[in-house]
Structures are given as C-alpha cells and as structure tokens.
Amino acid sequence: MQDLQQLKQQALNEIRNANSTSTVEQIRIKFLGRKSGLVTKIIQTLPSLSVDQKKRLGPLANQVKHNINQALNNKIIALKSPDHQTGEFFDTTLPGIRPEIGHLHPITLVSREVEEIFKSMGFQVHEGNELTDLHYNFLALNFPKDHPAMDSYDTFFIENKEKDIKLENKRVMRAHTSNMQVKIMESKKPPLRVIVPGRCFRNESTDASHEHTFYQCEGFIVDEKISVANLIYTLKEFLKAYFKKDEVKVRLRPGYFPFVEPGFELDFECMICGGKGCPVCKQTGWVELIPCGMIQQNVFKSAGYPKNKYTGFAFGMGLTRLAMMKYGITDIRLFMSGDLRFNNQF
C-alpha cells in the first residue's frame, strides 16, 4: 500500500513538471504501461494475494490508477490550451482561487446614506476641492485677514514656490468643506440647495477622537426668504431619517463662525440612551453634532450676489462622527488605519 501511495505522489510530481505532451505520454507508459508500468505491475500481483489482502489493495490500486490517469489527461488538455501556447501555463488540476470580494469603507457607506437623505429633500451633491487657497478656505468666508479664528483651524499650508504670492492665493489643504460655499455660489444662482461631502485636513495631534484627516458634509440653502425655522426643520428631518426615529429633540446653542450670523451649535437628544446619559453623549444626554447658522451677507458679497437680496443657512456636520455613532466605533484612527480586520467588518 505504501508503494502505491509513493508511486502516486511520484507520478503526480512528474506530471506537474512535464512541459510537453510527449513527456506526458512517457509518464503514462512508465506508470500505467500495459506490460511493465510501475502501477500495472502491482495490479498484476493482485490475483496471487489472499482474499483479505485483495480486499485492501484492490480498491486502492484502482483509485491510484484512476488518479494518475486523470492527472495525465488534464495535463494534456492544459498543454494544448491557448494559455499554455502563449507561454502562460494554466494548471487545470489546481483547485480554483476564490476571488476576494471588496468592502465599502464605513465612511463611504455613511456618506452615501447622507447623500440619499438630502437628495430626497431636493439637495444637489457637489464634490469639492481638497486643495484650496486661503481665499476660499477663510477670507471669502468673512474671516478678516490675520484674524485669530483662522488659527483654531490648524490648517496645513502647502509650500508656495512663487515669490510675492498674495495672502489669499496661498495654497492650503481645506480645513473644512465650507471652502466650497463661495466656489459653488460663484457658479450658480439661487435658489440653491447643495451638500458637499468630503475629506478635510487639520494639523492636529491624533488620539481616539482627533485625526488629521476626517470627513465632513457641508450643506447650504440660499433663496429669498430662508429662515432659522427652515434650518431647524431640515436638520431635524435629516436626523430622523438617519437615525430612523419618528421624533427627535434638538437644541441650539450659540456658536461662533465668521461666515454665519447668528451661528449655532445644534445638539440633539442622545438616541443611544434616550437622553438618560451614556458614553456616547458623555453622560450629558445631548450629542453635539452640527455647527450651523444663517449665512453672513459678506459671504454672498464674496460670491458676487447683490446685497441683502438673499438669505440662507449653512451647516457642517462631521461624517466621521456620524459613522462612529452608527457603528459604535470608539477610536477615530481606525478609519484611516487601512487595517483590513477593521474594513472587512462592513
């Protein structure tokens, strides 16, 4: 029995290494030749064995013969295939390789969901420039030159090779998706309903809740009679749809951003604990999620809109935060880690 197993291994190895049909035929004769094939010889001894031995050896011998035969035939097919003739040997005896199925990143999943909700409310989705300049990132948004508010954005400056470059033309990685507000307004006339989901960058030291690269979703509406009531209604509708709730409680606290006036921080009652207090809301019962406000008239001025004709609201929500809440992710650094153990869960 051992001899048979060994012969089988030997034959399969030789078949694997064979690279012409004539070699394959030689192997066939060597192992399965009618008179002096190595396997044939063993089979020929079978009649002289005891009944008991026959019972054990017979089926194995046949199996080995069958396996070798099959490998030989497959090899012939492989050698004659176009793959082999182009120089690439395709071994049809090898088991197949299961194709890996990709995963969507959790940020992509959340971004698509947010887009769908806003699209259902008539918003258009815009892509944005990640590389921008001080004009669009700050100055056009009513940040006075040298205003300390710019410092709080920890902006990444790109090295500018040009001499005497003007302040507004200095290139930066966008610190917020608000950099697209004026850019989009310049190319479109109101009424406008736009969201801009995208990647933002800040020069921050990282920890479980800070990351230098993160995602926001900007949104704004511009028309002739837009009010704070429209702002609250829109964001409540969004929250209800995103968290799949019939009702949601929100509160507005004052917030300072030069490009909105009045400016707010919109908090909502924690949906995880129903306002009782839990780790997600840091035991306060409220989650701070959406900075927002009524668009400052100077922003419209930057976009070239006539004075005091339009009103609008803007908001900038953290997509990364939304994803963390949705999937219970406690360390923001996992998103950019590229760790497949993390990505494969979605």
**CB 148 to ligand PHE: min, Å:** 15
DSSP 308: T
Please give the single-letter amino acid code of residue 278: C
Residue 197 within binding range of ligand PHE, rule CB under 6 A: no
Q: Which two tokens stand for residue 206?
A: 């990282």
Looking at the Cβ atoms of 252 and 292, the one nearer to ligand PHE is 292
With residue 299 as reference, give the H or E element that holds it: helix 297-302
- Binding to ligand PHE (CB under 6 A) within 316-335 occurs at 316
Q: Which residue from 269, 315, 319, 334 is in contact with ligand PHE, where contact means CB under 6 A?
A: 315
Residue 293 within binding range of ligand PHE, rule CB under 6 A: yes
Tell me the C-alpha to C-alpha distance, in Å, between residue 155 and each of 108, 178, 181, 210, 236.
24, 13, 18, 14, 31
Q: Which residues are CB-neighbours of 272 under 8 A, at least 6 positions away? A: 278, 280, 281, 325
277 Ramachandran zone, left/alpha/beta (phi>0; psi -120 to 50) = left
Looking at the Cβ atoms of 78 and 139, the one nearer to ligand PHE is 139
- Binding to ligand PHE (CB under 6 A) within 94-133 occurs at none
Q: Are 135 and 178 in contact (CB under 8 A)?
A: no
Residue 266 within binding range of ligand PHE, rule CB under 6 A: no
**CB 139 to ligand PHE: min, Å:** 14
Binding piece for ligand PHE, criterion CB under 6 A, among 22-30, 67-75, 159-167, 311-319: 311-319
Q: Are 212 and 180 in contact (CB under 8 A)?
A: no
**CB 293 to ligand PHE: min, Å:** 5
Q: How many CB atoms lie within 10 A of CB 235?
A: 23
Binding piece for ligand PHE, criterion CB under 6 A, among 14-22, 66-74, 86-94, 314-322: 314-322
With residue 336 as reference, give the H or E element that holds it: none
Nearest to 212 by CA among 258, 175, 244: 175
Q: Which residue from 27, 61, 107, 292 is in contact with ligand PHE, where contact means CB under 6 A?
A: 292
Cis peptide bond N-terminal to 262, omega within 30:
yes
Residue 176 within binding range of ligand PHE, rule CB under 6 A: yes
- Binding to ligand PHE (CB under 6 A) within 204-263 occurs at 257, 260, 263
Q: Which two tokens stand for residue 211?
A: 């990351």
Looking at the Cβ atoms of 197 and 293, the one nearer to ligand PHE is 293
Please give the single-letter amino acid code of residue 91: D
**CB 218 to ligand PHE: min, Å:** 6
Binding piece for ligand PHE, criterion CB under 6 A, among 72-80, 234-242, 272-280, 308-316: 308-316
Residues found near ligand PHE in the complex (CB under 6 A):
176, 178, 257, 260, 263, 291-293, 314-316
